[in-house]
Amino acid sequence: MKSAWNLVGMGLWLLLVIYLVWMIHDMRSRRLKLIVTEKKSFSWPNFTRSAIELVVFLLALWGMTYATIFQDVAKLNKDAVKTTYTYKPLVLQYAERSHYVTVSQTSGRKPMQTYSYYIDGGKYEVNSSDATISYGKNPLNVSAEAYKWNKEWLKHLDVRYQRAWVGTVTTTYKKNFMNGIGLHAGRQANRFSLIRVPDKSFMKTDE
């Protein structure tokens, strides 16, 4: 478990299940009592109470589902997430021709590209939904512009590493009560890599 705060969310989900079981039992018991004591299966007071119990359950279910599954990390404030940036120089690879990045095409219902590169002597792979390749004069392309990079520092990296580096922005949920409700405390929310190469000739394509 990434953080003990996630126990809060687990406890709330358990309470919701317990409430659901109690609600079904309560509705059934009241209906049986109504049939036995008043010889009828419907009454407005009984219906109103059941409706209130159901509305409370649905609101709680919606809230927990939203917090756990549908929460948009991009709309959270700085108190909820921590964003870090790391930068590493790319290692040149020698094959038929020198290159920094190998681009592979995946098949299937949703084809995408996979980018392979080396930093610090280790090989890394990311897919095109979590990364982008930038080349040319401007280190940022349309995909990378969505993130808050330090543009002056990127220019510094271009000079220092001759436009051959990778920058990674990682967003992590902070370990606190609110993130614990959605079972997110301490977990990674998003990771995106900006792979910088001097030009397209330093990209190798695997057919």
Annotate the chain with DSSP letters as a single string: ---TTHHHHHHHHHHHHHHHHHHHHHHHHHHHHHHHHHS-S--HHHHHHHHHHHHHHHHHHHHHHIIIII--GGG--TTTEEEEEEEEEPPPB-SSS-BSEEEEE--SSS--EEEEEEETTEEEEEETTSEEEE-SS-S--TTGGGS---HHHHHHHHHHHTT-EEEEEEEEE-SSHHHHHTT-TT-EEEEEEEEE-SSGGGEEEE-
Residue 75: predicted pLDDT: 81
Is 1 contained in some domain?
no
Residue 161: predicted pLDDT: 96
Residue 97: predicted pLDDT: 77
Q: Are 60 and 105 contained in the same domain?
A: no
Structure tokens at 78: 């700085």
Where is the domain boundary, 70, 91, 121? 70
Query: Number of folded domains in the chain?
Result: 2
Is 185 contained in some domain?
yes
Residue 15: predicted pLDDT: 98
Q: Are 13 and 63 contained in the same domain?
A: yes
Residue 76: predicted pLDDT: 82
Per the model's pLDDT, the better-predicted residue between 64 and 110 turns out to be 64
Where is the domain boundary, 70, 103, 119? 70
Q: Are 110 and 163 contained in the same domain?
A: yes
Q: Are 102 and 66 contained in the same domain?
A: no
Domain encompassing residue 155: 81-206
The model scores a pTM over 0.75: yes
Q: Are 200 and 98 contained in the same domain?
A: yes
pLDDT at 175 over 70: yes
Is 76 contained in some domain?
no
Is 75 contained in some domain?
no
CB 33 within 8 A of CB 43: no
Q: What is the mean pLDDT of residues 113-124?
A: 92
pLDDT at 1 over 70: no
Q: Are 86 and 55 contained in the same domain?
A: no
Q: Are 112 and 136 contained in the same domain?
A: yes
pLDDT at 68 over 80: yes
Amino acid identity of residue 43, one-letter, is S
Residue 194 banded pLDDT, cuts 50, 70, 90: very high
